[in-house]
Structure 1
Amino acid sequence: MDIGEYSDQHTTISFEDITSAAYKIRSGINLTECSKSHLSDMTGMDIYLKKDFLQNTGSFKERGARYALLMLSKEKREKGIIAASLGNHAQAISYHGLQLNIPVTVVMPRIAPIMKIQKCRELKANVIIEGNDMAEARKLAIELAEQEGLTYINGYDHPHIIAGQGTIALEILEQVDQIDAIVVPTGGGGLLAGVIVAIKALSSKIKIIGVESDRCASFSKALECGQPIETKIEGTLADGLAVPMVGYNAWALAKDNVDKMVTVQEEWIAVAILRLVEMEKCIVEGAGACGLAAILAGQLDEFKGKRVVLILSGGNIDTTILGRCLERGLAADGRLVKFKATVSDRPGGISELCKLIGNIGVSIKDVIHERAWVTSDVFSVEVKVVCETRDYAHSLELRELIFANYKKVKFEDLRCIKHRKPDITSLLDEN
């Protein structure tokens, strides 16, 4: 078991540890850009995006992974390491293990994305698919480490991992002047702890904001209980943050110095992913989009008019999940509309409906007919239509038009997320 994992003792990480890590990993880590965002005008903040999804394996995890590997003794390097991960840590440790000629075994739960599993195999790692969740995968990894003499490297709580993750803060300070706040996606807490140690050593004025999905709010739960505590994890778009218990080292380093913790709802994460694709041309996974989600949801309005850095921590999102996120983002944004209408089944009936919709510039994405269960008359057909509109106001215009021209109409809820407190259901489980 690695140092401090859920023990009564924790390992202190200093600013010097982070500067040492920055020096040692610089030859193997990309210096990712931190540029001003087109989202600044929309949000009323001066937003900068730290694009760490541009690392070789698509996430910030490479920083800690490389430093942890470099700090191994010659004997431990030759024997090899083992890790448990849903994906990003596994990819990072596999990539840098290959670069440094260190044997790597990764234990990944059965729920891990297929893309990430395949990538680890391509990087020559010994991949073991076992366990229904991260807790079970981690337990097996620790057992194998003891049995085979491997070094177990926790993906978010190992001291060298935390120090490596903190190097992102040093880069941000060099790239952006007069920062008011840095928003940090938070799962196990390693990135948050590293950023806090680095930033607070140099500037007490910069606020550090941790952000989680409300479906995996383990750090917020720890703050509430006064210690790391097992937290129920539900399916979330931010799967990279789905850690049931924050690391003890990370918790001890961050708990007294994090300025605010925010939990965001799934719909806002979907909208944030959509905004980043549309306005920044950035493909970011749910975990990386959480900071923007908090801003779009109005949970960081105290920073209006101020300079805020968002860490886009990862971009490893399956293409099927990305498509689903974009559609659900459009729906939450009031731009994807579904309705049913009973129209004439005589020649031209559906054509008239389509022409009516097209005349106001609405795009039809899908049309489904239903004849057998229509009870009004044999000359009618029920049509289910999915449309894409410009914005919420355009959707309202469509709704009024359809109701004005057809008697039997049923619209799905058109209340845009910006105009309501949503009744959240699982975005991942819906068809």
Structure 2
Amino acid sequence: MATTVSLTEFAGLTLKQKLARAERINRLKAQGLILPLLVFLFVVFLLPIGILLYKSVENPEVVGSLPRTVEAIAAWDGRGLPEESVYQALAQDLAEARKNQTIGDLSKRLNMELAGYRSLLAKTGRALPFKQEPASYKDALESLDERWGDPAYWQVIRRNDSAFTSYFLLASLDHRIDDLGELASATPDQAIYLDIFVRTFWMGVVITAICLVLAYPLAYLLANLPTRTSNLLMILVLLPFWTSILVRVAAWIVLLQSGGLINSALIAMGVIDQPLQLVFNRTGVYVAMVHIMLPFMILPIFSVMKGISPSYMRAAISLGCHPFASFWRVYFPQTLAGVGAGCLLVFILSIGYYITPALLGSPNDQMISYFVAFYTNTTINWGMATALGGLLLLATMLLYVVYSWLVGASRLRLG
């Protein structure tokens, strides 16, 4: 019966409705084919980015370890010292945190904002719980350590009365929330990250510019040589992809160090008397990074150049245009899609590199990726690591948006 009704309804449909239904079914089938790819992208790309951004604002330590204190301190206006009930709540929370072995994470988090908090909580935690209930928790805690009489330590707890915080993002931008709850600049000894971001982007620009200057004529040569010769030279361009980055970096250390092949050859030829400092500085980083990034600039430009017909140049020259002017007015504009793609690719890869500056650069040549790795592997500070990584990701996305707005995403060609 149901089949009869279905056939009757289908027979009563107009031709336009039948076509629309058939197209909808085909569209659903096509979407079903790409569903595994969408799931894969979500799991390995979007989900990690979401976790990254969440970790940069996550703040569970204070709320989880000091629930009574957070609730009691909410009524404090931030002036002077909090009331007796706040001291009592803190003593109860610290005694429970010591029992649950969470006082370590709490002290680590609070010590990020105010140095000395780790020792204060460790000393106080060892004395809790009190053997007898004190007449005044305020006097009892201040007798354990006089720092409990300093409003600055209570201000830190008050600023972290939420499960989310802007501390790490603000610290990554050399800013902080002061005791009055207002946005302020970070102290000079902590205001380092904006300079590191500027250094990172500047080094990315320099590396991209050098790669472009070297890659454009080489790509032009490869695109205009006979196919056999071009293929042989292309193998040399692709050869670095067949070796590990560590191997390439180690090779540059051997070449550039004071007793390396380059300095030894220059001294032997009498060009210099003393070895040049070519490694463990900005020069060594630029040389190695350009060597690593050059294929990423050559390939997009070469791909675009191979699709340009030589008849355009011949037509311009035959009409009386000078060959040099023909190149800049006819040929070069057609390669801008490849140039833009290569510059975008090289710049984005450069600002995120870690191993090459770490091995070939000095402390003043480290980029933001070094500090992401430092907070991830050394201090285990996920908040700062994810905040710095999130800002780097945001800068990359903004760069792509600006490029798409200026050039147009439809003109972007990677190969």
Band of TM-score, shorter chain = under 0.3
Q: Whose helix fraction is larger, Structure 1's or Structure 2's?
A: 2
Q: Whose strand fraction is larger, Structure 1's or Structure 2's?
A: 1
Bigger radius of gyration: 2
TM-score (structure 1 length as normaliser): 0.19
TM-score (structure 2 length as normaliser): 0.20
